[in-house]
Amino acid sequence: IEIADSVARRLDLVGVLTVELFQLRGGGLMINELAPRVHNSGHWSIEGAATSQFEQHLRAILGLPLGSVAPHGPTAMVNLLGTGPDRDARLAGVPEALADPGVHVHVYGKRRVFERRKMGHVTVVGSDADEALDRARAARAALRWED
């Protein structure tokens, strides 16, 4: 929080700033990416926070009061990545992934899928972080890209 706050103040930023950090093996932090906009690392906030990053950004740039960022509970987000060669994006397994009523599948609408391309994400709000992550990973495992 201190790093992000310092960067935002030095840039005199209005709106959402995503500061993506990597934790180094020795425990230190390294800034990997700065995004002065909504960012995929904050998509968990759609279900996981009282005010999503999207709404918060609009409130900030429109001069409206900011909303609460209180979490609804421990939230896990797992990216939905492409696999295999470049081809039409046809996602299968959605009914199986959504068998858990707390699972939310977000597909970004990209028409082509290929190896490691970010195609969407799965979000779960759970009773604790491990449980939420297990459920998100189980839902993600049910999803696959058809050939």
75-103 pLDDT per residue, tens: 999 999 999 999 999 999 999 999 999 99
- pLDDT score recorded for residue 37: 86
User: Mean pLDDT across the stretch 51-66?
Assistant: 94
Q: Is 123 within 8 Å of 43 (Cβ atoms)?
A: yes
* Per-residue pLDDT reduced to its tens digit, 98-109: 999 999 999 999
* Average pLDDT over the chain, rounded to an integer: 95
For residue 80, give the nearest of 39, 115, 31, 122 by alpha carbon: 122
Share of the chain above pLDDT 90, in %: 86
* Look-up of token digits 């929080």: 1
- pLDDT score recorded for residue 49: 97
At position 28, the amino acid (one-letter code) is: G
- pLDDT score recorded for residue 128: 96
User: Above 90 in pLDDT, residue 15?
Assistant: no
Q: What share of the chain is helix, strand, coil (3-state, %, to 5)?
A: 30, 30, 40
